Amino acid sequence: MFYSSTRGDTKKVQSAEAIIKGLAPDKGLYTPDCIPTLSEDEKIFIKKSSYKEVAKLIFGKFLTDFSKEQIEKCVELAYNNSFEQANVAPVYKLDDNTEILELWHGPTCAFKDVALQILPYFLTTAIEITGEKNEIAIIVATSGDTGKAALEGFKDVKGTKIVVLYPSEGVSLVQKQQMITQEGSNVSVIAIRGNFDDAQTAAKNIFINDELNEKLLQDGIKLSSANSINWGRLLPQIVYYIKSSLDFNSNNVDYIVPTGNFGNILAAYFAKKMNAPVGKLICASNQNNVLTDFIKTGIYDKRREFVKTISPSMDILISSNLERLLYELSNHNTTLIQNLMNDLEQKGYYKIPHDLKEEIDKLFYATSATDDETKEAIKNCYDKYQYLLDTHTAVAYHGYLEYQKDDKNNKSNKTIIVSTASPYKFPIGVCSALNIDINKNEYELLNTLETLTKVKIPAPLQGLEDKKILHSLICDKEEILPTIMELL
Ligand SMILES: *Cc1c(COP(=O)(O)O)cnc(C)c1O
C-alpha cells in the first residue's frame, strides 16, 4: 500500500517512510491511496477476538511493508502490560443503547496512550525496514497530555531518545509532576520560561533548521516527530472504533467524540470507510468551537480569540487532521486542498465547495459546550448514573444530550460516547462541577474525589506527590537550542 501527501507531492511512500517522516516534504499529511475494507468473515473474527488480535489484523492491512512477525511484535510490546485491562479499551454501559468507550486505562490516564504506546515500536521497526542507521530523536512540545504519553511510550525504547518541552507555568500540577518524575535512560524534560506557543515554536524551529539537522546527522541522530499528524498515531485509533462498533451488535453505532486536532474522530471516519457499522459522527468541541462552526457552515475560520477552558487538551484553533478528511471527501483533489490550506495560512479562513459540504452533512453533526455546560454535564451524568466524567468527556456527553434534543436527528442508532481521560487527570474542573471546595492542592482534591465517589484513583496517579523528581532543568526561550544540542 502506498501513501500520498494531501498536497500533491508526487513521491508516493510506503508506510515505514511515512511514519519516519511524519510530515510530507510539501507539508501535506501522508494518507493511504485506498482504504481497505473488512470482509464478513473478518467481522465475525473481530467480534470473537481480543483487542490485540484485532489490532494485528487492522495494522496488517495498512502496514503492508511490515512483516506479520514485525506487526505482532509491535502489538505485543505496546499492549501487553501497559494497560490496566487486557482489552485496552473497555466499555461502560450507561443503558441498553448507550455506552462509554474508556480509552484512558493506559500509563498516563489519557487516550493518547493508545497510539503513543505503539508509535515507538512502529518507528523502530520502520527504521529496520528502511535501513535507517541513525538514532531517532523525538522532540515534543506539550501543553500537558501529549508530553507525558510520549515519554511513557518512548522510555527505554532502543535506538530512540526523547526530549519534552513544556511551559513551566502552563500545565496543571498533576501534569507537571507526571513529567518531572519520568523514569527512563533516554528521556529529558525541559521546563521553559514562557507559554505553550514558545515551546511549540522552539520545537518547530529545530525541525526546520537544516544546518542543525545536518550536524545531528553527522553525529548519527535523526529528528522525528510524535505529533498527531503522523500516520503511525492515527492508525492505532481506528482499531477501537472497529472493535467497539462490531461488539455493540447494532447495524449502526453513532459516535460522539470530544475533539481538538480532529485525529480521534478522523479515525472513526476511517473505520466507517472500512465497512465497520459506524453511523453518524458527532464532533463535540469546547468553547474553541471552530470545528462546530465549520461543520455547520462549511467555513473554517480561525480568526477568533483563543479561549483557555477546563478541557485544555481541546484548546486548539487549527485542527490539522481535518486536512485528511477534506482530501478523502474530495476524492484526493490535491489542488483544492492546496488552495484551502493557502487560504487558511494567508487569510485565516477557507470555504469549502458545496458538494463537499453536502458530504460533511451526511457524515457529521457538531456541538459545542461552554465551561459551565461542561460542568453541568459532569454533574448530570454523576447524579443520573453515578458515573464520573472528566472535563473532555463531559463536552462529549453534553454533545450527546444536544444531539438527542434536536428533532431533525434520527435516533434509532445505538450510541457510543468516547471517553478520552480519567476524571482524576483534571480534578479542579471535575470537583468544581460537583460543588467540592477547590481551594486545596490538586493531590488533596484527588483524595476528596475518591472518598466522595468511591471511584478509585488510577494506579499511575497514586502517590504522585511522593515520587522522586528527576528533571529540574528550566531555561529561557533563547537557551532551548543549545540545551537540546547538549542533551542529544
Ligand atoms: C488530545 C485530546 C483530545 C483531542 O483529541 P484530537 O485527536 O486532538 O481531536 C481530547 N481529549 C483529551 C483528554 C486529549 O488528551
Distance 128 CA to ligand 1 centre (A): 30
Question: Which protein residue's CA is at the shortest distance from atom 15 of ligand 1?
Answer: 313
Residue 185 grid coordinates: 535512560
Catalytic residues: 112
DSSP string, 404-422: HH-TTS---SEEEEEE-B-
Q: Is the CB of 132 under 6 A from ligand 1?
A: no
Report the alpha-carbon distance of residue 301 to residue 151 in Å, rounded: 33
Q: Which amino acid is at 253?
A: V
Contacts of residue 104, Cβ cutoff 8 Å, sequence gap at least 6: 110, 111, 113, 390, 419, 420, 421, 422, 425, 458
The model's pLDDT over 426-479, given as tens digits with 9 standing for 90+, comes to 999 999 999 999 998 889 999 999 998 888 899 999 988 899 999 999 999 888
Task: Summarize the confidence of residues 409-416 as an average pLDDT.
Answer: 92
pLDDT above 90: residue 344: yes
- The response to whether residue 325 sits with its C-beta less than 6 Å from ligand 1 reads no
Mean pLDDT within 407-417: 93
Q: Distance, CA 215 to ligand 1 centroid (Å)?
A: 35
**Mean pLDDT across 169-184:** 89
Residue 367 pairs with which residues in a beta bridge? 284
C-alpha dist (Å) from residue 349 to 200, 249, 291, 333, 334: 22, 41, 12, 19, 18
When mean pLDDT is compared across 99-113, 189-203, 238-252, 451-465, the lowest value belongs to: 189-203
- 410 pLDDT tier (thresholds 50, 70, 90): confident
| pLDDT tens per residue, range 182-221 | 999 999 999 999 877 788 778 878 887 888 889 999 999 9
Of residues 121 and 481, the one with the higher pLDDT is: 121
Nearest to 84 by CA among 462, 429, 397, 430: 462
Q: Which residues, including other chains, have CB under 8 Å from residue 482's CB and lie 6 or more apart?
A: none
User: What's the CA gap between 315 and 311, in Å, rounded?
Assistant: 7
CA-263 nearest atom, ligand 1: 7
Q: Residue 322 contacts by C-beta under 8 Å, 6 or more apart in sequence?
A: 262, 266, 291, 294, 300
Look up the pTM and report it. 0.95
- List of residues 6+ apart from 29 with CB closer than 8 A: 5, 6, 23, 229, 231, 320, 321, 323, 324, 327
**C-beta 314 within 6 A of ligand 1:** yes
CA pair distance 475, 484, nearest whole angstrom: 11
Average of per-residue pLDDT across 81-87: 88
Choose among 284, 298, 301: nearest CA to 360.
298
Best mutation site among 103, 108, 111, 364 for ligand 1 pocket (most ligand atoms within 8 Å of CB): 111
Which residue among 108, 257, 261, 419 has the greatest number of ligand 1 atoms within 8 angstroms of its CB, and so is best to mutate? 261
Contact present, 416 and 422 (Cβ < 8 Å):
no
Please determine, for residue 316, whether its predicted confidence score (pLDDT) is greater than 90: no
pLDDT bin (cut points 50, 70, 90) of residue 283 is very high
The predicted structure's pLDDT at residue 377 = 98
Whether residue 270 is predicted with pLDDT greater than 90 in this model: the reply is yes
Place of cell 525541559: 190
Higher pLDDT, 280 or 210: 280
| Cβ–ligand 1 contact at 392 (below 6 Å) | yes
Q: What angle do CA 318, 321, 323 make, to 5 degrees?
A: 90
Q: Mean pLDDT across the stretch 30-34?
A: 97
Ligand 1 test: best mutation among 105, 178, 264, 324, most atoms within 8 Å of CB? 264
Q: Which of 195, 219, 220, 223 is nearest to 209 (CA)?
A: 223
Mean pLDDT of 259-268: 96
Residue nearest to atom 8 of ligand 1 (CA): 261
Which pLDDT value is given to residue 100?
A: 98
The mean per-residue pLDDT over the stretch 79-87 comes to: 89
How many CB atoms within 10 Å of residue 432? Answer: 17
Largest CA distance in the chain: 63
- Answer for the pair 189, 471: CB distance below 8 angstroms, yes or no: yes
Distance 425 CA to ligand 1 centre (A): 13
pLDDT > 80? residue 386: yes
